[in-house]
Structures are given as C-alpha cells and as structure tokens.
Amino acid sequence: MLQIHHLSKIYLKAKIVIPALNDVSFNVTKSEFIGIIGKSGSGKSTLLNLIGGLDRPSGGEIIFMDRDLARMSRYELALHRRYSVGMIFQSFNLIPSLSALENVVLPLTFAGVSKKKRKQVAGMLLEMTGLADRTDHLPTELSGGETQRVAIARALANEPSMLLADEPTGNLDSVTAREIIGLLRDLNKNKGITVLLVTHDQETAEEISDHIIRLKDGQIVDGTERKR
C-alpha cells in the first residue's frame, strides 16, 4: 500500500542545512497498524507530513497506491489529502466557531457531497466515535477526549484508506489517551483502515502495533515485526 524508498528531507534555516530525514525506507501493508516512535526532533512528524502530502521530500520516493507523491502536482496532492489519507493532530485543529457536526461536515462539503448526505455521514461518524449526544456542541464545550474524537470523525469523513495520527494523545490524560488509542485500534481491526501512529509512548506503541518503526536523528534505527 505504501512504499518509502530512501526518503530524505532537508530544511534550510539561516543558510544552515538541517537534515530532518536521511535515507528512510520501509513498506506498509494494507490494514496494518504502524507505530512510529522516537524522541523529539527524530523526524517523526516530518515523515507523517510527507506521507500526508503536506510537504515535499528533498529526495527519495513515497509510493502510495502505486503513485509517487514526490511527482504529484499541488492539485494532485490536495486530492491525496482529501480522499486518500485522514490526518489527526495533537492540537485537534478544529474550527472553534463550528459545532462538532459542522466540523465533521466540512471535508464533505469540500468534496462536493450533497447537504443531506453529508449531515447523515457526519452524524453516523460522530455516533461511531461515541459522540451522538454532542453533535451541537462547540469544541470549547467538549472535553479533550471528546474533541479528539471529533477530529477522528472528521478525518474519517471521506473514507480514507489510511489514518495518519501525529501524537493524537499528547494533550490528554492517561485514561483518555488509552480510550483514543483503543478507538484507533478498533478502526484498524474492524474497518480495515491502515493506521500510522506517531507517539512518544513506546509501551503503548509496542502493545498495539503490528510493526514498530524507531527513528533517531532522522534515520530508522530499528523496525521490529510484531505478530498478532
């Protein structure tokens, strides 16, 4: 489903070269749950941003469903972000003036889905993520865990084949964090959605992942298969 070949990313800051990723290669099979772990600055978020089409690599290939993201136009990358991947962030990134339902409806609106259908789909996704009774609440009226569930529902709106979760539990307490991780695992097991989870929590990643990728200074230092 996803093939990463010799991927590199270099940033320039005040004429200083900063290597974020260096010669990273790995494959992801459909319906896998991948844990990506490493300390801050190891390149985890950069890797997810490249796979999500939010940034372009300095070198190498990102082959997603037989197409190289590095060769895509801006328009093609926008379509990739809209339909192929769903992104979940630590900071939730919900629009504060919109209700939970309206936040989930938004990507469906951009995709041209009819008004009736997008409300049906958004309502179904909020019910699936345990928020059927919170649809009309603003993000400020929700707990951290509820807010992240809205973000997950929004990421699922256009039926992506892969979820990219960048520290989705970083702002949550340990109990709520476990609930969110459990929800992601359920989506992976029951819906067949491929999940790439970036996390500092090595113990949790090893417990639930099919495959662990360890990054250090922009390079893979270990990748251990875990049989389930």
Assign residue 43 a region: left if phi > 0, alpha if psi is -120 to 50, beta otherwise?
left
Q: What does the block give as tokens for 141? A: 């009226």
Answer yes or no: is 64 within a domain: no
pLDDT tens digits for range 72-85: 999 999 999 999 99
Assigned domain for 71 exists: no
Give start and end residues of each alpha helix (H) in the chain.
44-51, 74-79, 100-110, 115-128, 144-155, 174-191, 202-208
Sequential DSSP letters for 142-195: S-HHHHHHHHHHHHTTT--SEEEEESTTTTS-HHHHHHHHHHHHHHHHHH--EE
Judge whether 149 lies within some domain: yes
Decide if pLDDT at 227 tops 50: no
**For residue 104, is it within any domain?**
yes
Residue 5 lies in a domain: no
Cβ distance 169 to 181 under 8 Å? yes
- Report the CATH number that the domain containing residue 152 is assigned in CATH: 3.40.50.300
- List, in sequence order, every beta strand (DSSP E) within 120-190: 162-166
Q: Is the pTM of this model over 0.85?
A: yes
Residue 185 is assigned to a structural domain of this protein: yes
> Does residue 179 lie within any of the structural domains?
yes
**Which residues make beta-bridge pairs with 62?**
4
Quick: pLDDT tens for 68-118.
999 999 999 999 999 999 999 988 899 999 999 999 999 999 899 999 999
Which of 14-23, 71-80, 142-151 shows the lowest mean pLDDT across its residues? 14-23
Q: Pick from 148, 144, 150, 160: which is nearest to 98 by CA?
A: 150
Does some domain include residue 22?
no
Q: How many domains are there within the chain?
A: 1
Place of tokens 């520290």: 167
Residue % of the chain over a pLDDT of 90: 83
Helix 144-155 / helix 115-128 crossing angle, nearest 10 deg:
130
Q: What residues make up the domain containing 186?
A: 31-59+81-225
